[in-house]
Amino acid sequence: MQKVLGILSLIIGLGLVYFFNNSHTIGGKPIPPIGKLLNPYTGAWQNSENSKNYSDFKLTSELIKEEVTIVFDDRMVPHIYAKNLEDAMFAQGYVEAYHRLFQMDISTRSPDGKLAEILGPNLVEYDKKQRRLGLGFAADNALKGWDNFPEELKNVNAYTAGVNHFIDNLAPKDYPIEYKLLDFKPSTWSNRHSALLLKAMTQTLADYENDIEMSNALRVFGKEDFKLIYPDRNPKDIPIAEGPYADAERSKDSYQGVVSSLNLPSIQRPRSPDGVGSNNWAVSGAKSATGLPMLANDPHLGLSLPSVWYEIAITTPEFSAQGVTLLGMPGIMIGFNENIAWGETNVGHDVSDYYTIKWTDKSKTSYMLDGQLKKADLKIEKILVKGEKVVYDTVRYTVWGPVVDDKANLALRWIAHDAAPTPEFMAFVNGMQCDNYDDYLKSTAAFYAPAQNFIYADNKNEIGIRINGSLPIKKYMQGVTISDGSSSENGWSGFIPRYANPQERNPKRGYVSSANQYSASEYYPYYYNGNFEPYRGRTVHKYLANKEVVDLTYMKAMQNSTYSMLADEALAVMLPRLNAESAMHAYAKELAKWDYHYDASSVAAVLFDRWFSTFHEMLWDEAYAQNKKVALPEPDYWVTVNMIERQRSSKFYDVVSTSKVESLDDLINQSFRVVMGLDRITLSKSKNAQILHLTRLPAFSEMELVLGGTKYSLNAMQQKFGPSWRMIVLLGKTPEAYGTYPGGQSGNPASPFYKNRISTWAKGEYDKLVLVRKSSEISKSLFTISINHEK
Amino acid sequence: MKNSILLVSICILTAVCSLVAPWWVLAPISFSVIYLGKMKSAAGFGIPFLAVFGTWLIAIYLNDHGVVAALMGKLLLLPNWSTPILSACIGGLVAGFFGLSGALFSYRKKSWVNG
């Protein structure tokens, strides 16, 4: 009996060890390996970080040439002091891995389609879609291109060595907490990971397309109505570089290769999300309170914890620069040095187009191009799945690119797949070392994708802005819809020569700016289509053109402005058209008193949003009503505003589903009745802003933030998207800089520096960013890492 | 006295071995110590449970300053104070069952020798 009980007890004990040592799924919910996670020796308890127990340490590596010192200041910003650039890049790789290893890992797994391997079967479909987009293929192409630049490659090699130096010396007890939760180990970093991150950035910023929906719309509405509902450009727009340009004669009726006879469902796939955008502007010394230029930049991205950005300072005998970097790539992307400041916003040109493929066989191995049979390259994708069998998928590559959806038979021509002529990150590595605009223009000229509006200011009183990136030359309407892939004539006709990329240098108006609007005026000699922001660009102009002298306070107020030009313009038409009864309603009075600012406590902002969206959908019921039968693009809000400002009557004002023929006034009043039935609710409550951890775990996230802003205000805060970094630099003998972002330097949720900056950022306040030339001059530091050469 | 010696032995062995071995090293330690100590069933479970529970709890309090406790509390939807106790219970339970097993096996051996 004792023996039986002993065996039973042993079985229970072994069962507990097995259960606590492995991940499980119970009731559809993943359960981490609790024993591994909660034991005090190697579990999560080891990740506890206390600001009092930071201490200096030393490292050695045979890969660095001379001693490197990294001082972490009291904001946990690493200041790297190296005697040469390669050693500095090694140190950059080390500190980024030190603070954000899991983030770097997951951010490269996503484009590579390797999330199911660590997160389980729920991610298989996502992985498949990413692989069908060919992001791994794109990274491999990038690496082939980088191999042609051995000198430049030394920097990324040094960066990679720095990351791996950290990983190789990491004990299991020190793994970031997410590895313990998900029960996997960090893998070796390679240059391919940096290439993947660049491709992920291209996906976020330059994978805007609605070709299928536009093709359907062209068929449903016909050319005339299509142009009215989905116009080429907003006539009110003030482009980034106004010109003058020599007007090119281009036919607006060619429609060559445009496919409109399809009725395809939308392809659900990861792509550039709505809400991505940015602002930047630089004012000249003539317009600045300091007499020298000032520069501001705030990229709007999906907000996450850890933060998208990592603040860093790099000093070598040749330069000293500070700013933020995108994890996984060497160099400083947005920042300043002793003489210049720089930043970027996204260019909205459409560089991702679908082409129809006419297969010649059932197994889809050959297709027709220019009347000839072409073989597709078949790539077998092997997707590892945590706890389950391997999944295989076949991706077909055509002359256009990968076939993203086998049912739709559409191949994707996307700039991300091209082998860039030089490594893109060199724009940031070289850019941070410049001290004049000519050098900066040279350093950034080779940037390929995603195209960015690079803004610049220096202490020699120069300001400028230029699109850096490859922009395809297209025929009119090319890429707006699906293109016919059976003829190579329907492909892009090359790329706009770099010298012709829109740009401005020291314009008379005294400032340069961009906010994702059109790059150039309609007279620009190259046709382009894409996704362009209609209000923020004009808001920047409004603020800067009307101000004689701009100072720091004004720059800060601009970045934090919640003014909506959309609300201003729309209400100017809509409010006066309310009937007497509606105009007397409390909500109408509240809207009439409103200053069009989307403050967190604003009720009017919520009322306007609901009123305008209801009105917009009633106006374009022709499109919205058919959306259930055929996938159609949503008309833009600016089209609605422009229409009601200019057209008192239109066939589109009639609601198709009613027997009555409605007028503009009918629509305005009917839509307002919906608003009259709403409860009073503040914007912050309605918005429910949150910053989620990369794993979406609420415990590691910041929920229920009280924030104002709208996608149409300079402070473009939406529920999960918003200003991910705000920076203002006042150029001078020594630069005066300010910055903030929603997060913290550490990626460790158990660190006091994980989300310590959120409150400052949410209040619209800034940290002072101090460039310190010598390590000994940092007044308050947390700890220092010394890296010495090991023979 | 014997109970105390066994309890301290398990504490020390668990604390030292866990620095180099996986967390479940406490299982063979508990089994071996209790088996060699020839304890009765109740003590066979109780001593390793208390030893590992205490060792883990102390180790947790030495490492954490309430930060991970709060994170785990949010993650597991439990009060913050309970997560160190829950962790220690996990270690204690595993140790307890292996200790019990050691006691039952040692009891059988003793009976056989005496009989």
Q: What are the pLDDT digits (tens) for A685-702?
A: 999 999 999 999 999 999
- Please count the structural domains in chain A: 1
User: What residues in A contact B72, CB-CB < 8 Å?
Assistant: 38, 44, 699
Strands (E), A190-274: 258-259
Q: Which of A10, A12, A42 sits opposite B23 (nearest CB)?
A: A42
- Chain B, 53 to 92: residues with Cβ < 8 Å from chain A are 56, 59-60, 62-65, 67-68, 71-72, 74-75, 83, 86-87, 90-91
Q: How far is B108 from chain A (nearest CA, A)?
A: 6
Q: What is the ipTM of this complex?
A: 0.92
- Residue pair A443/A465 in contact by the 8 Å Cβ criterion: no
What is residue A738's predicted lDDT score, i.e. its pLDDT?
A: 98
Phi and psi at A724, nearest 5°, equal -90, -10
Look up tokens 């803004």; give the residue.
A455
What is residue A425's predicted lDDT score, i.e. its pLDDT?
A: 86
| A689-693 and A304-305 strand pairing | parallel
d(CA A340, CA A335): 9
Q: What are the pLDDT digits (tens) for A534-583?
A: 999 999 999 999 999 999 999 999 999 999 999 999 999 999 999 999 99
Q: Which of B63, B67, B94 sits opposite A40 (nearest CB)?
A: B63
Which of A722, A715, A743, A758 has its CA nearest to residue A599? A715
Q: Which of A16, A48, A50 sits opposite B94 (nearest CB)?
A: A16
- In chain B, the residue whose alpha carbon lies closest to the alpha carbon of A697 is B75
Is residue A665 in some structural domain? yes
Q: Which of A16, A21, A44 sits opposite B97 (nearest CB)?
A: A16
- Please count the structural domains in chain B: 1
Cα atoms found within 13 Å of the Cα of residue A711, Cβ hemisphere only: 19
Is residue A609 in some structural domain? yes
d(CA A725, CA A110): 23
d(CA A487, CA A127): 31
What is residue A271's predicted lDDT score, i.e. its pLDDT?
A: 67
Average pLDDT (A131-147) is 92
Q: Which of B63, B74, B97 sits opposite A46 (nearest CB)?
A: B63
What is residue B112's predicted lDDT score, i.e. its pLDDT?
A: 46
Helix (H, G, I), strand (E, B) or coil at A213: helix
Q: Which residues pair with A337 in a beta bridge?
A: A321
Is residue A735 in some structural domain? no
Domain range for A589 is 565-685
Contact B63 A45 (CB under 8 A): yes
Residues 6+ apart with CB under 8 A from A366: A359, A360, A373, A374, A375, A376
Residue-level length of chain B: 115
Q: Which of B27, B75, B104 sits opposite A17 (nearest CB)?
A: B27
- Chain A, 737 to 766: residues with Cβ < 8 Å from chain B are 749-750, 752
Phi and psi at A346, nearest 5°, equal -85, 145
CATH code of residue A667: 1.10.1400.10
Q: Which residues pair with A457 in a beta bridge?
A: A341, A463
Q: Helices H, strands E: what count in chain A?
A: 23, 32
For a pLDDT cut of 70, what percent of chain A falls above it? 99
Contact A35 B90 (CB under 8 A): yes
Domain range for B68 is 2-114
- In chain B, the residue whose alpha carbon lies closest to the alpha carbon of A43 is B23
Work out the angle between the directed axes of helices A536-545 and A552-559 (0-180°, nearest 10): 160
What tokens appear for A337 in the block?
């040095």
Contact B72 A44 (CB under 8 A): yes
Q: How far is B5 from chain A (nearest CA, A)?
A: 23
Is residue A37 in some structural domain? no
d(CA A207, CA A350): 8
Asked if A697 reaches chain B (Cβ–Cβ under 8 Å), the answer is yes
d(CA A279, CA A563): 14
Contact B93 A16 (CB under 8 A): yes
- Residue pair A368/A360 in contact by the 8 Å Cβ criterion: yes
Q: What are the pLDDT digits (tens) for A468-482?
A: 999 999 988 899 999
Look up tokens 């991205």; give the residue.
A301
Residue A791 pLDDT greater than 90, yes or no:
no
* Interface mutation target, options B63, B82, B106, chain A, most CBs of A under 10 Å: B63
Q: Which residues pair with A380 in a beta bridge?
A: A394
What is residue A250's predicted lDDT score, i.e. its pLDDT?
A: 66
